[in-house]
Structure 1
Amino acid sequence: MDVLLAFLKLGVTSFGGPVAHLGYFRDELVRRRGWIDEAGYGDLVALCQFLPGPASSQVGFALGVLRGGGLLGGIVAWTAFSLPSALLLFAFAYGADALSGTVGSGLVHGLKLVAVAVVAQAVWGMAQNLAPDRARASIAVAALAVAVLAPGSVGQVASILLGAGSGLVLCRAGDGAGAGSLALPISRRAGAVALAIFAVLFVVPQFLATALAAQGFALFDAFYRAGALVFGGGHVVLPFLRAAVVDPGWIGPDAFLAGYGAAQAVPGPLFTVAAYLGALVRPGPNGAAGAAIAVVALSLPGLLVVYGSLPFWDAFRTRPPARAAMRGTNAAVVGILAAALYDPVWTGAVLGPRDVALAAAAFVLLTVWKTAPWIVVGLTAVGGVALALA
């Protein structure tokens, strides 16, 4: 029950995209509830940066597995985190255009500004724990530089590799804190089965869609492939989704862009834009059935691959060289978050001095006043509307 309630709360309050979600997770589940230590959380984030799929949803799924004692806990966590935004975007598919006009645009802008504060809080807190010395601080800065110079998933993976290699050289004398607690209840056999299912679903639905001329299988296959091939998640998946639904004529380009705009105004993972797209595709299945197929198919490959990787990852990371590499990797995660704080979080939200002031106020509320994130979200959203009307 605590997994359900915790992730349902996050599902209705976590605005700002995948990087901001990692900040919300850290604040609620690491700092407030103590489900996992800081280093273990950093390890999960580092692993999910390597894997295809939505990194924030994968981290949340893994935390649900950890807290809930197995696969059911992960499913509950993913469902609770994804359901609020999926329902909102499904409703938007039928005309709930909440983004029009001055008030709507101001609301969206305020939500972008609260993401600045949330990510800044995450960078600050994680830097203190994961990059506390000269070596790891230097790795974090180097990772930031790589992520800025090579934006996107390529830069993220390169930063992680840089951190792991640097950690092997510079972080061998650590105290072991780089390897956090990740006693996940997943056997190697279960992990291998999950990876096998991931591979089978990459092939079989496409074959069935062609052999049976079944649009339901074609819809599942299109969204599953998009989720299986994208690294970094979030906005990176949008070109894949456009190719999946616009190019074959299942949905028009204007409707696709409208769904993208709506997805910026709701909490939770951006992958739930699939609920909007699945509801509108032609021919059917569409409506509620299409939305459910699309959301599950888009997220399923990322969940399967992280579930399958965790037992092997946990065995690997307990070795001394792996611990040194993970110290460097965790420091690199700080750099990646810092790079994301600049672009796209800061560049996409802060357009002038008044925005700086509002974002700074939200940051102080979070870090100094220890205000609950959902209250800060509400206040900053209202502040965005006020700025738009001023």
Structure 2
Amino acid sequence: MIQKHRTKGFTSLLEILFVSMRLGLTSFGGPVAHLGYFHNEYVRKRNWLDEKSYADLVALCQFLPGPASSQVGIGIGVIRGGFIGGVVAFLGFTMPSVIALILFAQLLDGMDITNAGWIHGLKIVAVAVVAHAILGMAQKLAPDLKRKAIALFAIIAALLWQTAFIQVGIILLSGFIGFILYKNDKELEENQFHFPISKRLAAGNLILFFALLFALPILSRSLSIDWLTMFDSFYRSGSLVFGGGHVVLPLLEREFVPSGFISEEAFLAGYGAAQAVPGPLFTFAAYIGAVINGWQGGLLATFAIFLPAFLLIIGTLPFWNILRKNPKINGALMGVNAAVVGILIAAFYHPIWTSSIFEPVDFAFASLLFSMLVYWKLPPWIIVLTGGVGGVFIGML
């Protein structure tokens, strides 16, 4: 059960802001590491919620599209301080990396980075990081032959039909396949989860989520307003990403690089910078927005890409007890998660591998970075720094 005596008011909000901002400044290592930091801080040290409640919250956020760790943080903030507490927890955890990436974009403004050796090194870093993500996710999300087959279908479809909406189709079809294959699987353990949000407010958030998802593309194409087009692209990317920040990379790349909003070199430079800062990888959107339209664009991009996550976590938690006890729904989610593995493998090949590995020395360097990350378990910022320096040396060969 969640702790009954929740402190309220301004003092509680300040506490939420302080704790979440400290996590936002120190949480390196990606979403899985973030969940470990959250567990240690919110469950073990502060007892804001118990083990079962935390596990329920993490389970839901793993099934929803968007940044799972950020959604968990929002949910804990709401549990502790209501709706405003969720907003405060989000700002504390997210804004440190947003500010850092906007400043990085301003620093790169006007610089010719097209042929910079360190850019090539950061591309190779992306190879090591995504390869690591694939291994971890494949073991958890596609452990049996059926889900491996779903993942293989997702790989083939994502590589052969690279259109704007193919990932949505893959996810929907994989969910249906999972529904058929796993509809008779054993139900999840029944645990009640208490959340201080009314079902009416939750339903309003879900309605707004879908309304924006369908209305924004129509409005952006009809009105041809730059900021609206950018908002639509980031909102759709945040709405359709299953599997965390690494999967958002190909969506954002296809939205902004071919259209000329940002060069591929600048895109990958920002991706490398996003690996080097703490907090959620979705704040990479702040960098892209800042490259396009300064700090105002960075803040707009941040709001747009995280808005779906906020609407979904507020909108689904009051209904989670009903959904999670249905084995058919759980089967569909198993199919979706397997498809995420395939989409990530397809993204690993293109654009990440095809734009990074050209010579044997590139593959050798990628192997070194992968070993540093996976086997020596060095912090991500060391991997990024090594990649940038190594890229300069490779350029001299």
The TM-score with structure 2 as length reference comes to 0.68
Report the Cα distance in structure 2 between the residues aligned to 1:275 and 1:8, rounded to whole angstroms. 21
**Unmatched runs of 5 consecutive residues or more in structure 2:** 1-17, 41-50, 80-85, 242-247, 275-280
Please state how far the C-alpha of 1:170 moved relative to its aligned partner: 2.0
Question: Secondary structure at the residue paired with 1:132?
Answer: coil
1:169 is aligned to 180
1:302 is aligned to 308
2:151 is aligned to 140
Answer whether contact 1:144 1:339 (CA < 8 A) is retained: yes
Is 1:61 aligned to 2:70, yes or no? yes
**2:353 pairs with 346, 350, 353, which one?**
346
Answer whether contact 2:233 2:255 (CA < 8 A) is retained: yes
Is 1:89 aligned to 2:105, yes or no? yes
Change (3 A) 1:242 1:123: closer
1:74 is aligned to 90
Q: Deviations over 1:289-342 (max 9, x none)?
A: x44664455446434543454337734344111111111211111111111111
Is 1:362 aligned to 2:369, yes or no? yes
Report the Cα distance in structure 1 between the residues aligned to 2:376 and 2:285, rounded to whole angstroms. 32
- The code of the aligned residue for 2:126 comes to A
2:291 is aligned to 276
Report the Cα distance in structure 1 between the residues aligned to 2:194 and 2:36, rounded to whole angstroms. 19
1:284 is aligned to none
Please state how far the C-alpha of 1:372 moved relative to its aligned partner: 2.0
Report the Cα distance in structure 1 between the residues aligned to 2:353 and 2:298, rounded to whole angstroms. 33
- The code of the aligned residue for 1:370 comes to K
1:21 is aligned to none
Change (3 A) 1:294 1:46: same
Question: Secondary structure at the residue paired with 1:224?
Answer: helix
Is 1:311 aligned to 2:342, yes or no? no
1:106 is aligned to 117
Answer whether contact 1:131 1:140 (CA < 8 A) is retained: yes
Answer whether contact 1:275 1:294 (CA < 8 A) is retained: no
Report the Cα distance in structure 2 between the residues aligned to 1:200 and 1:160, rounded to whole angstroms. 20
Report the Cα distance in structure 2 between the residues aligned to 1:228 and 1:383, rounded to whole angstroms. 35
- The code of the aligned residue for 1:29 comes to H
Q: Give the paired residue count.
A: 335
- The code of the aligned residue for 2:64 comes to L
Answer whether contact 1:38 1:180 (CA < 8 A) is retained: no
What is the correspondence of 1:236-247 to structure 2 with a 5 Å cutoff? 236=251
Aligned-residue sequence identity (percent) comes to 26
1:156 is aligned to 167
**1:372 pairs with 370, 379, 387, which one?**
379
Answer whether contact 2:270 2:284 (CA < 8 A) is retained: yes
1:7 is aligned to 24
Change (3 A) 1:363 1:229: closer
Report the Cα distance in structure 2 between the residues aligned to 1:33 and 1:130, rounded to whole angstroms. 22
Q: Deviations over 1:229-273 (max 9, x none)?
A: 555655655787799xx9xxxxxx7x9659657645532544222
Report the Cα distance in structure 2 between the residues aligned to 1:179 and 1:332, rounded to whole angstroms. 26
Report the Cα distance in structure 1 between the residues aligned to 2:142 and 2:92, rounded to whole angstroms. 33
Change (3 A) 1:323 1:106: same
**1:47 pairs with 29, 52, 64, which one?**
64
Report the Cα distance in structure 1 between the residues aligned to 2:75 and 2:299, rounded to whole angstroms. 27
Please state how far the C-alpha of 1:34 moved relative to its aligned partner: 5.5
Change (3 A) 1:184 1:292: farther
Report the Cα distance in structure 1 between the residues aligned to 2:55 and 2:285, rounded to whole angstroms. 26
Please state how far the C-alpha of 1:182 moved relative to its aligned partner: 9.1
Answer whether contact 1:188 1:311 (CA < 8 A) is retained: no
Please state how far the C-alpha of 1:44 moved relative to its aligned partner: 4.0
- Give me the CA root mean square deviation: 4.1
- The code of the aligned residue for 1:324 comes to G
Report the Cα distance in structure 2 between the residues aligned to 1:179 and 1:149, rounded to whole angstroms. 41
Please state how far the C-alpha of 1:387 moved relative to its aligned partner: 0.5
Please state how far the C-alpha of 1:168 moved relative to its aligned partner: 1.8
Answer whether contact 1:40 1:179 (CA < 8 A) is retained: no
Report the Cα distance in structure 2 between the residues aligned to 1:224 and 1:304, rounded to whole angstroms. 16
Q: Which moved more, 1:162-171 or 1:172-181?
A: 172-181
Report the Cα distance in structure 2 between the residues aligned to 1:261 and 1:139, rounded to whole angstroms. 29
Report the Cα distance in structure 2 between the residues aligned to 1:196 and 1:60, rounded to whole angstroms. 23
1:125 is aligned to 136
Answer whether contact 1:147 1:156 (CA < 8 A) is retained: yes
Q: Which moved more, 1:146-155 or 1:309-318?
A: 309-318
Q: Deviations over 1:120-144 (max 9, x none)?
A: 1111111111211112222221222
Q: Deviations over 1:97-142 (max 9, x none)?
A: 27266xxx21111111111111111111111112111122222212
Q: Deviations over 1:331-377 (max 9, x none)?
A: 11111111111112111211121111111111122222222222222
What is the correspondence of 1:185-334 to structure 2 with a 5 Å cutoff? 187-194=198-205, 221=228, 223-228=230-235, 234=249, 236=251, 257=263, 263=270, 266-267=273-274, 268=281, 269-272=283-286, 273-279=288-294, 290-291=296-297, 294-296=300-302, 298-299=304-305, 301-311=307-317, 314=320, 315-334=322-341
Change (3 A) 1:112 1:175: farther
Question: Secondary structure at the residue paired with 1:266?
Answer: helix
Answer whether contact 2:74 2:87 (CA < 8 A) is retained: yes
Please state how far the C-alpha of 1:42 moved relative to its aligned partner: 8.1
